[in-house]
Amino acid sequence: MDEQVPVYLQKLRSIPKESFLFGPSPIQFLPRLSKELSPNGDVKIWAKRDDCNSGLAYGGNKVRKLEYLVADAIAKGCDTLVSVGGVQSNHTRAVTAVATASGLKAVTVQEKWVPIDPPLYDKTGNILLSRLMGGDVRLNNEPFHIGHKTATAQAVEEVTNKGGKPYYVPAGASDHELGGLGFTNFVVELAAQEKALGIFFDTLIVCSVTGSSHAGLIVGAVAEGKNRKVIGIDASAKPADTLAQVARIARSTASMLDPKLEIPDSAVILDERFHEGIYGIPGPSTIEAMELAARTDAMITDPVYEGKSMAGLIAMVREGSIGAGSNVLYVHLGGQPALAAYSSYF
């Protein structure tokens, strides 16, 4: 192996993955949002558009993560991906998409993670796309938490009993040994784009719920050693659980890539001011943030995840905790297909 390449990067490059992305997701400057929040031009805001990263059913952050899990599933001879999410889960839509594109089956358990039932909530948006792709979609009433679910274990058992070979994908593709790799690789990808652009993003803002997107970014940032800050914005409304899972996934991923790579507590940052008290329901700050992003640079965010992380970015620039001279990168994870199910909020 090349001694000039860091150990973590050698290991990352050696782990098999599928190719579901167009390539590096684009980086977009947000001039009107930057001017709105920082009239003097002291803070410049950009977005890395992982919502535009793939041709598979509108893409998003889960597709980036699933490149590694699907490669593992295929290597193990599995024929069915089994996973779980809420009724309007971006993750289960992505699981169904990558399964379909890989010639696999998908069984997704869609639970009542959000205590609302507006018209067509279980018939439009993400769940409609999963059904359109031929996914085996199963509704139940188990409430939200980021841990492993009984109904998913039962689905795995059922696939096995019918002669299939299931591959279990945890919620968000997160609590899995390969779950953090996609967003560790995101930082490697970002560094190459920064070199081409002649810019360095000192602060990354990312939504955090099941935690592996956030955790992977932390690993990438610590490993590259450039003092890049990664700030997670909690949207789970269970921040203690999310913080613990982010730290655990980050440390497990780091250990896999380089046993000497340590993740300090100071690198694991989770701002819990913007979850609005409950997972999946937008509050005033969420809606204000969604409208501001849409009405400045026509960037569409969703009410469950990205509206809440955008609210965090807006507040931090306004309050000065992201200081003058910063180049801020908003990590856009996707989620817009769920908007149709939330039309009553707008």
| Interval 177-231: pLDDT, tens | 999 999 999 999 999 999 999 999 999 999 999 999 999 999 999 999 999 999 9
Which segments of the chain does DSSP mark as H helices, in order?
7-14, 31-37, 61-75, 90-101, 125-132, 150-161, 181-197, 212-224, 239-257, 284-297, 306-319
Tokens of 68: 């590694």
pLDDT category at 145 given cuts 50, 70, 90 is confident
pLDDT category at 90 given cuts 50, 70, 90 is very high
pLDDT category at 46 given cuts 50, 70, 90 is very high
Task: Round the average pLDDT of the chain to a whole number and report it.
Answer: 96
311 DSSP assignment: H
pLDDT of residue 245: 97
Mean pLDDT, to the nearest integer, of 78-82?
A: 98
CB 242 within 8 A of CB 270: yes
The model's pLDDT over 293-318, given as tens digits with 9 standing for 90+, comes to 999 999 999 999 999 999 999 999 99
Contacts of residue 62, Cβ cutoff 8 Å, sequence gap at least 6? 90, 91, 94, 95, 172, 173, 334
Instruction: Name the amino acid, one letter, at 283.
Output: G
The model's pLDDT over 250-308, given as tens digits with 9 standing for 90+, comes to 999 999 999 999 999 999 999 999 999 999 999 999 999 999 999 999 999 999 999 99
Q: What CA–CA distance (Å, rounded) separates 287 from 311?
A: 8
3-class secondary-structure state, position 115 = coil
Q: What CA–CA distance (Å, rounded) separates 72 from 76?
A: 6
Q: Give the residues across from 47 on adjacent strands.
A: 28, 330
The torsion angles phi and psi of 114, rounded to 5 degrees, stand at -115, 120
pTM attached to this predicted model: 0.97
Q: What CA–CA distance (Å, rounded) separates 151 from 167?
A: 15
176 DSSP assignment: S
72 DSSP assignment: H
pLDDT of residue 2: 55
In this structure, the strands spanning 136-139 and 166-169 are unpaired
The model's pLDDT over 97-131, given as tens digits with 9 standing for 90+, comes to 999 999 999 999 999 999 998 889 999 999 999 99
Angstrom distances, CA of residue 80 to CA of 13, 112, 117, 158: 26, 23, 30, 11
Is residue 89 part of the annotated active site? The answer reads yes
Q: Is the pLDDT of residue 242 over 90?
A: yes
In the chain, what are the domains?
Answer: 7-57+177-345 (3.40.50.1100), 61-173 (3.40.50.1100)
pLDDT of residue 244: 98
pLDDT category at 3 given cuts 50, 70, 90 is low
Out of 83, 89, 213, 285, the active site residue is: 89
pLDDT of residue 147: 81
pLDDT of residue 252: 98
CA nearest neighbour of 88 among 107, 71, 102, 108: 108
- How many helices, marked H, and strands, marked E, lie in the chain? 11, 10
Q: What is the CA radius of gyration of the chain?
A: 19
Which segments of 15-60 does DSSP mark as H helices, in order?
31-37
CB 151 within 8 A of CB 168: no
The torsion angles phi and psi of 35, rounded to 5 degrees, stand at -65, -35
3-class secondary-structure state, position 267 = helix
High-pLDDT (> 70) share of the chain, %: 99
pLDDT of residue 1: 47
CB 319 within 8 A of CB 274: no
Indicate left, alpha or beta for 275 from its phi (over 0: left) and psi (-120 to 50: alpha): alpha
In angstroms, how far is CA 116 from the centroid of its own chain?
23
pLDDT category at 146 given cuts 50, 70, 90 is confident
